[in-house]
Amino acid sequence: MLALQTRGLSKTFKVKQKEAGLTGSLKSLLRPKWEEKQAVDGIDLVVQAGETVAFLGPNGAGKSTTIKMLTGILHPTSGSAEVLGFTPWSDRTRLSYRIGAVFGQKSQLWYHLPPIDTFDLISRVYELKRNDYLARRDELIERFELGPYLHTPVRKLSLGERMRCEIAVSFLHRPELLFLDEPTIGLDVVVKQRIRDLIRECNKEEGTTVFLTSHDAGDVEELCARAVVIHHGGILLDAPVEKLRRDVMNRKTIVLTLSVTHMENTIPEVDGASVISSEGRRLKLTVDLRKTDIETVLSALLTQVRLDDVTIEDPPMEEIIKHIYGMSAAGTGGELIQ
Ligand SMILES: Nc1ncnc2c1ncn2[C@@H]1O[C@H](COP(=O)(O)OP(=O)(O)OP(=O)(O)O)[C@@H](O)[C@H]1O
């Protein structure tokens, strides 16, 4: 079954150009100059029900504009889209009963009220039957472990606690398709992991289709089976995440803080890992995951150095996309780009 399908979906914005200063403002008022900005350029996409899709691209690639069209907030300039059988911009209200949306940078929780009140209000917005609502709410409270802060005003919650509430609330009306825009932005590693586990669980148990944008490679690797990369408004790559992991996301960075008791000037040597910087006690290594794995590298390191701290980082999404873009420009990405 189809969750969504687009054909030649495009959006052009008309942007008023204004020269600097007062004269520029007057000129723009009397004789405005308009420039066209192609934000989305002919996207053809098919997503099946139950899929987990990462919709990726550098800043300004057109991700949010596409999501706004798919949720019915914006009309396209040309092309068509069908989401759960509806044309989003003409059937926005009916569609809203069947989809959910979480924006990491915007909240749907009432800021001065406790989350429990938002659950109540949202249940009325979606016209849920009282008994069904209460059973679903309690199930989500348990699954997302919201008990300790259900009655605390949202403004007093930490970012991680708030995001758990945001995502739980978005599942209240059992959406078939969930749009997640940067759901883990600004969260620490532990909370990020918990949020990913919960979304994955909902996808597995309830079959919710997930359409996610994120600049965090960890979100993509752990949550999604398929990656669609856009650039300059058009699709650059559509491939399984597994393939992306093998061909592009095949490096991680290990940052070590060596213990003060560590002997100076000893740089550890480990197969498959190489030191990329060394500043005082801080050492950065890049690990080639095609040759080894993180556990093996850490074990080997611990036989050579004493550590105060270790962090493991994914390469920035911008770097991964640049790599894909480079492969496509050089014509070496044929295998990868389907
Ligand atoms: N309302 C608007 N008016 C004019 N231009 C716009 C508008 N909304 C977006 N744009 C432009 O369209 C392009 C795509 O923007 P969009 O927000 O979709 O990108 P994005 O991929 O979501 O980026 P980011 O990762 O930074 O959020 C950008 O160049 C942006 O400046």
Give, in degrees to the nearest 5, the angle at Cα 227 between 143 and 181. 50
Q: Are the beta carbons of 154 and 165 closer than 8 angstroms?
A: yes
Q: How far is Cα 249 from Cα 287, in angstroms, rounded to an integer? A: 11
Q: How far is Cα 326 from Cα 240, in angstroms, rounded to an integer? A: 19
Q: What is the pLDDT of residues 180-219, one digit of tens each?
A: 998 888 787 888 888 898 889 889 998 999 999 988 888 8
Neighbours of 94 (CB within 10 A): 13
Going by alpha carbons, the residue nearest to atom 2 of ligand 1 is 13
Average pLDDT of span 119-141: 94
Pocket of ligand 1 (CB under 6 A): 13, 15, 37, 39, 57, 59-65
* pLDDT at 88 > cutoff 90: yes
Average pLDDT of span 149-163: 90
Gap from CA of 65 to ligand 1 centroid (Å): 6
Domains of the chain: 2-13+37-247 (3.40.50.300), 251-313 (no CATH)
Q: Report the mean per-residue pLDDT for the chain.
A: 88
The strands making up 2-17's β-sheet, listed across from edge to edge, are 33-48, 2-17, 78-83
Gap from CA of 13 to ligand 1 centroid (Å): 9
Gap from CA of 182 to ligand 1 centroid (Å): 15
Neighbours of 266 (CB within 10 A): 10
pLDDT for residue 265: 61
Q: How far is Cα 171 from Cα 224, in angstroms, rounded to an integer? A: 18
Q: What is the pLDDT of residues 274-289, one digit of tens each?
A: 888 888 888 899 998 8
Asked which of 80-84, 224-228, 323-327 is least confident by mean pLDDT, the reply is 323-327
Neighbours of 76 (CB within 10 A): 22
Q: What is the pLDDT of residues 245-273, one digit of tens each?
A: 888 888 889 998 888 765 556 677 888 88
Q: Determine how β-strand 78-83 pairs with β-strand 2-17.
A: antiparallel
Which residue from 10, 11, 12, 13 has its CB within 8 A of the most atoms of ligand 1, so it is best to mutate?
A: 13
CA distances, 308 to each of 106, 139, 234, 284, 285 (Å) = 37, 41, 46, 14, 16
Backbone conformation region of residue 79, classed left if phi is above 0, alpha if psi is from -120 to 50, else beta: left
Q: Are the beta carbons of 212 and 55 closer than 8 angstroms?
A: yes
Alpha helices in the chain (DSSP H): 21-30, 63-70, 92-96, 115-125, 130-143, 159-170, 189-206, 217-223, 241-247, 294-304, 317-329
Q: Which amino acid is at 316?
A: P
CA distances, 121 to each of 92, 164, 167 (Å) = 20, 17, 15
Residue 154: DSSP 8-state: G
Average pLDDT of span 60-82: 94
Q: How far is Cα 56 from Cα 321, in angstroms, rounded to an integer? A: 8
| Backbone CA torsion sign across 38, 184, 283, 248 | negative
Gap from CA of 35 to ligand 1 centroid (Å): 14
pLDDT for residue 337: 46
Gap from CA of 57 to ligand 1 centroid (Å): 12
Which residue from 65, 71, 216, 230 has its CB within 8 A of the most atoms of ligand 1, so it is best to mutate?
A: 65
Gap from CA of 293 to ligand 1 centroid (Å): 38
ipTM above 0.95, yes or no: yes
Predicted TM-score (pTM) of the model is: 0.82
Pair of tokens at residue 14: 């008309």
Residue that the structure tokens 């994120």 belong to: 214
Q: Are the beta carbons of 55 and 230 closer than 8 angstroms?
A: yes
pLDDT for residue 338: 46
